[in-house]
């Protein structure tokens, strides 16, 4: 990469990890000295890197830098997901001792739980370059062939939302992951021929919120597969306290706990709510955050005592009132709420299921007695434990 990336490398406290954002094939050494031949996306990323290095006073740049700094940089700093972190850190250490590449790894689970953060830590612990792309960005086989052919030995290729890869692109990954080679056809008819392109050994890290949408052949080629679950309130309290120290927010233990217990078990939400509480404390109070200040701020944000936001409560209220607690199909709920069905399945329902406010049955979604109690409603005669009505 050009000068912007070099400045980022110098800014890294370890001087080791280099991150390449790739929406098209990563630039090779032949065009790394100038912007000639760079795509528009690469030029935009290069310019953003320069801004981050040269304009620290810019509020937008400061917010971006802040978001990056909140990520833990080493496994020892990572809070939560103990079983996952212990297992992957052992695999990383073993690979480093052998001087070998790490097995391909797949991380799956709800959004905001640290899948991308772990990928960054792996690359840093391996002293490797992290090439970051996403499933929707790899539209054609040529995209993935160019990207893979530019990887160096030991590089880490991180594909976010890997379940959104097209089948044509996915098939090129099979031989690349197993044998570190790509077979592709050139020409057509009588002039068609197969070309075998050898690749340097690399590590592919996939991240997905919908592991079930991955094809079996791709899923089975990952030597390491981990599910990330929601965090406990105690773990989130540690994360809020750590982030508050980085953001220079004066917060006590009760204030951190109040934010943590309303964060839906998700570190990303904890950090987002911490910023909103910080803003409220600076404008309406002295800047210090305690339990009462955090509660007031989160009340204004529409986050209740259990972390349910406006959309969560709308979903639960619609199911409980409009459909008398269910059963109700997800399509009917999405149409009633006027919200995308996938948003309800991926964002709203996982947490409501985890805290036991709804259940999924063959007939549809139902509200549990705990869900009715949280809304201050009485379960209907045909409640969650009763016999469903046949229509």
Active site residues: 115-116, 160, 209, 268
The sign of the CA dihedral 36, 41, 44, 49 is negative
List CB contacts of 347: < 8 A, sequence separation 6 or more: 111, 311
265 token code pair: 């078990």
Contact 269, 112 (CB under 8 A): yes
Closest CA to 26 of 176, 159, 167: 159
**Tokens 């839906």 label which residue?**
264
b/e per residue, 22-54, with b = 16+ CB within 10 A?
A: bbbbbbeeeeeeeeeebeeebeebbeebbebbe
Q: How many Å apart are CA 253 and CA 26, to the nearest integer?
A: 45
Q: Do the bridges between strand 358-361 and strand 364-367 make them parallel or antiparallel, or are there none, so unpaired?
A: antiparallel
Q: How many Å apart are CA 382 and CA 328, to the nearest integer?
A: 13
H helix runs in 221-323, sequence order? 233-247, 253-261, 267-284, 291-300, 310-317
Q: Do the bridges between strand 181-186 and strand 364-367 make them parallel or antiparallel, or are there none, so unpaired?
A: unpaired
| Alpha-carbon distance values, 353 to 109, 112, 316 (Å) | 14, 17, 11
């Amino acid at each position: 990469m050009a000068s912007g990336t070099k400045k980022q490398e110098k800014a890294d406290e370890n001087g080791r990890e280099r991150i390449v954002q790739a929406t098209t094939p990563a630039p090779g050494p032949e065009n790394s000295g100038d912007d000639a031949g760079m795509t528009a996306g690469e030029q935009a990323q290069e310019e953003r890197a320069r801004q981050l290095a040269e304009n620290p006073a810019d509020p937008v740049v400061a917010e971006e830098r802040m978001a990056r700094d909140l990520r833990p940089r080493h496994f020892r700093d990572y809070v939560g997901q103990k079983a996952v972190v212990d297992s992957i850190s052992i695999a990383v250490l073993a690979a480093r001792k052998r001087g070998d590449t790490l097995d391909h790894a797949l991380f799956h689970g709800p959004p905001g739980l640290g899948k991308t953060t772990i990928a960054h830590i792996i690359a840093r612990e391996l002293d490797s370059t992290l090439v970051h792309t996403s499933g929707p960005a790899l539209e054609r086989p040529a995209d993935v062939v160019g990207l893979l052919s530019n990887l160096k030995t030991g590089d880490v290729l991180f594909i976010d939302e890997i379940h959104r890869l097209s089948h044509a692109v996915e098939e090129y990954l099979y031989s690349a992951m197993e044998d570190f080679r790509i077979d592709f056809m050139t020409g057509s008819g009588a002039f068609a021929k197969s070309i075998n392109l050898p690749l340097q050994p690399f590590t592919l890290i996939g991240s997905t919120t919908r592991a079930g949408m991955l094809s079996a052949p791709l899923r089975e080629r990952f030597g390491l597969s981990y599910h990330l679950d929601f965090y406990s309130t105690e773990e989130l309290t540690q994360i809020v306290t750590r982030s508050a120290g980085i953001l220079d927010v004066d917060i006590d233990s009760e204030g951190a706990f109040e934010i943590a217990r309303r964060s839906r078990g998700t570190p990303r939400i904890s950090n987002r709510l911490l910023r909103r509480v910080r803003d409220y404390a600076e404008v309406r109070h002295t800047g210090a955050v305690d339990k009462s200040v955090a509660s007031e701020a989160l009340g204004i944000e529409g986050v209740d005592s259990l972390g349910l936001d406006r959309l969560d409560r709308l979903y639960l209220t619609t199911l409980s009132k409009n459909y008398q607690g269910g059963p109700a199909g997800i399509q009917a709920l999405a149409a009633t709420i006027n919200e995308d069905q996938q948003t309800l399945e991926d964002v709203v329902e996982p947490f409501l299921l985890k805290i036991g406010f709804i259940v999924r049955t063959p007939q549809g979604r139902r509200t549990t007695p705990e869900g009715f109690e949280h809304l201050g409603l009485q379960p209907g005669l045909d409640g969650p434990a009763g016999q469903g009505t046949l229509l």
